[in-house]
Amino acid sequence: MSENQNSSNCRISRNVLIKAPGLLPMLYTPREIAEDLDVPETTLRDWLNHGAPHSRDESNHIWIDGRQFAAWVDSQRNARKKPTHPLQAGEGFCMRCNTIVKIQNGEIRPVKGRLSHLKGKCPICGGIVNRGIWNAGSAELSQG
């Protein structure tokens, strides 16, 4: 019988992220898996309450499949990663609006070598938006 009470994300330490793939394809007790991952048993039980895969036998003892648990740890790591959005040509990050915007009235000034400085205005708040760009081309200015 599998249990998933709460599927919110957990903070997993780097040590656990490294050690979890080494878990064996067998059933562990919470104490054993806590020892192998070098975390307090209370922390592990907290993870179980937050959706870590486990099962209970007829005596209500908790069993954790090592491989399933390792996969869960990996999924937690991926779940905590923020989605990235690489800046496109003509885009910049407005520090006032705290968001990515299309730069208006952009001006490119060479800094050094292939590095250039794009300076323009935010279409939302009208503030100045700066961005460093490599190999500045006409695509950067076409948006402004």
Partner 1 sequence: MLDRQNYLKVKLFLKFSRDVHGRSSLQISTDFEHLKALLLWAGSQPISSAPAFNTSLPDFLFQKVEKGLIQSELKSILNTNQRFLLWAKAMFPVEFQNIRLSWIMKIPAISE
Choose between 24 and 87: whose C-beta lies nearer to partner 1. Answer: 24
Whether the Cβ atoms of residue 91 and residue 48 lie closer than 8 Å to each other: no
CB of 26 to partner 1, least distance (A): 4
CA angle 114, 119, 121 (to 5 degrees): 155
CB of 114 to partner 1, least distance (A): 39
Beta-carbon contacts of 119 under 8 Å, excluding residues fewer than 6 positions away, are: 106, 107, 109, 128, 129, 130, 131
Residues in 15-54 that interact with partner 1 by CB under 8 A? 22, 24-27, 32
Q: Point out which residues pair with 28 in neighbouring strands.
A: 64
Choose between 32 and 74: whose C-beta lies nearer to partner 1. Answer: 32
DSSP 68: H
Choose between 65 and 140: whose C-beta lies nearer to partner 1. Answer: 65
* Binding footprint of partner 1, residue count (CB under 8 A): 6
Structure tokens that stand for 26 in this block: 């067998």
CB of 36 to partner 1, least distance (A): 8
> Residue numbers of the site for partner 1 (CB under 8 A)?
22, 24-27, 32
